[in-house]
C-alpha cells in the first residue's frame, strides 16, 4: 500500500500541472472558436495577446 501512497502523491503533482496546461489550452481554444465565429467584442479583448 505504501507504493499506492507514493503514486497518489505523484498524481496530485501532475494533476496540478495538468490543470495549468488545460487552463491555457482552454483559453487558446476559446480564442480560436471566438475568432472562427467572428465575435468582434471577444476578438477586441484578445487581440493584444496575439
> DSSP for 16-41?
HHHHHHHHHHHHHHHHHHHHHHT-HH
| Residue ranges with strand state E in 1-50 | none
Q: Count CB-CB contacts under 10 A for residue 47.
A: 11
Predicted local confidence at residue 46, as pLDDT: 56
Q: How far apart are CA 4 and CA 48, in angstroms?
A: 46
Residue 50 has a pLDDT of: 47
Name the residue with cell 499506492.
4
Q: pTM for the full model? A: 0.41
For the chain, the domains span 23-50
Q: What is the pLDDT of residues 1-50, one digit of tens each?
A: 577 787 787 778 788 898 999 999 999 998 898 888 765 555 555 555 54
| Cα-based distances in Å from 5 to 13, 14, 15 | 13, 14, 15
Amino acid at each position: 500500500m505504501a507504493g499506492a501512497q507514493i503514486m497518489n502523491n505523484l498524481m496530485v503533482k501532475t494533476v496540478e500541472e495538468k490543470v495549468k496546461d488545460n487552463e491555457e489550452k482552454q483559453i487558446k481554444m476559446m480564442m480560436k472558436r471566438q475568432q472562427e465565429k467572428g465575435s468582434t467584442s471577444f476578438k477586441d479583448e484578445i487581440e493584444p495577446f496575439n
